[in-house]
Amino acid sequence: MKKTSLSDIAKALGVSKTLVSLVLNNRGDEVGINKDTQKKVIKMARKMNYKPNMVARGLRLGASKTIGLIIPNIGNLFYARIARVIEDEAGKYGYRVMSASSDENPEKEVGLIKVLMERQIDGLILASSLKDRTEIINLRKEKVPFVLIDRYFPQMKTNYVIVDNYHASYNVVTHLINQGFRKIGLLKITPSYLTPIRSRFEGYRDALHDHGIRFDKRLVKEIPFGGISNAMEQALPELLFKPVSADALFFLNNDLTVTGLGIINKLGLRIPQDVAIISFDDLKLFQLLYPPVTAVAQPWQEMAKEAVRVLMQEIKSPGTIKEKSQVILPARLEVRKSCSKF
């Protein structure tokens, strides 16, 4: 038993497809179709359990009512929450979302973009791990409406919604310095060309500089996305013991913090007496750790909402808006006990 189509209904009723289509799209009155005919059509549609084929509709209309979402990893709570909000917001406009994880892998990301484009997405929200912007320039050439989130390309005029990483990081480091810490280790996720990572690094560097503390590159470690555990097992002792002897650690994402806390625990070090801790990206459980972990709470909800808003605007009036929407959201430092001296 095949699915019923418009013409099945039309045939059953001895009318035309057009008529059925019109009625079922609530354009019956507008066009002036007999009320009774309308009733008949609707009744028959229900009786035959008709479900419109949105794919066919999309093909005809040239719009799939689907947006793509590419993020590093939907299995990371930061992005999972964003995905959730995007799903809800896009849903309000009748859009569904197809999401895909890039694993911070540029080649994979390029592949995903291609796949999603082939599936005729009407727009794309992208937390890109791309190194250079050529791929983004391509995107623009293809005329897909898109919005960058979390990461952007400073040299390019695109839509984006990001967090003010520089100041958030600057504030973190300033706070640590004010608390009396001087040897602040920084744990970056790679690839380190990602704009949030770079901005956070610059905030770190400038805050040190502005407080007269010399930058020591031994305090900065890069941790590859694909092998966090191993890299951290090696990096943390190097940072925490002689000769480097960091007295504070600043983790640049939630995975790093969680893994880092585990290792610090195993090493038998006390927080904050032996080492202070601050995390970029906040998790609920951070409040319940002993001691509670200070963290930068990112405005993920606003970011997702704004991204959808901007994308919908771009989809509605493609190209007409000359100035791109560029949104920079502040992050909040949640000071807890993991970074207080004494």
Partner DNA sequence: TTGAAAGCGCTAACAA
Partner DNA sequence: TTGTTAGCGCTTTCAA
We find the least distance from the C-beta atom of residue 286 to its own copies, in angstroms, to be 8
Q: Over the chain, what HEC string results?
A: CCCCCHHHHHHHHCCCHHHHHHHHCCCHHHHCCCHHHHHHHHHHHHHCCCCCCHHHHHHHHCCCCEEEEEECCCCCHHHHHHHHHHHHHHHHCCCEEEEEECCCCHHHHHHHHHHHHHCCCCEEEECCCCCCCHHHHHHHHCCCCEEEECCCCCCCCCCEEEECHHHHHHHHHHHHHHCCCCCEEEEEEECCCCHHHHHHHHHHHHHHHHCCCCCCHHHEEEEEHHHHHHHHHHHHHHHHCCCCCCCEEEECCHHHHHHHHHHHHHHCCCCCCCCEEEEECCCHHHHHCCCCCEEEECCHHHHHHHHHHHHHHHHHCCCCCCCCCEEEECCEEECCHHHCCC
Question: What's the min distance (Å) between Cβ of 245 and its own copies?
Answer: 23
- Out of its own copies, DNA, none, which partner does residue 6 contact, by CB within 5 to 8 A per kind? DNA
Rounded to 5°, the CA angle 233-274-334 comes to: 90
> Whose Cβ is closer to its own copies: residue 245's or residue 273's?
273
x/- contact string, 218-257, with DNA (CB under 7 A)?
----------------------------------------
Q: Which of 10, 70, 97, 168 binds its own copies (CB under 8 A)?
A: 97
Which range touches its own copies (CB under 8 A), out of 45-53, 154-162, 188-196, 330-338? 45-53
Residue type, 109: E
Nearest distance from residue 44's CB to DNA, in Å? 13
Span from 13-21, 69-77, 200-208, 239-247 in contact with its own copies (CB under 8 A): 69-77
By the rule CB under 8 A, 110 interacts with its own copies:
no
Using the minimum distance from each CB to its own copies, give the nearer residue, 67 or 246.
Answer: 67
Q: Which of residues 50-69 bind DNA (CB under 7 A)?
A: 52-53, 56-57, 59-62
* Residue from 99, 102, 128, 253 in contact with its own copies (CB under 8 A): 99
What track of x and - describes contact with its own copies for positions 284 through 303 (by CB under 8 A)? xxxxxxx-------------
**213 binds its own copies, rule: CB under 8 A:** no
Catalog residues that contact DNA under the rule CB under 7 A: 2-3, 5-7, 14-19, 21-22, 24-25, 31-34, 37, 52-53, 56-57, 59-62
Catalog residues that contact its own copies under the rule CB under 8 A: 1, 3, 51-56, 58-59, 64, 66, 73-77, 80-81, 83-85, 87-88, 96-101, 114-120, 142-143, 258, 261-262, 265, 283-290
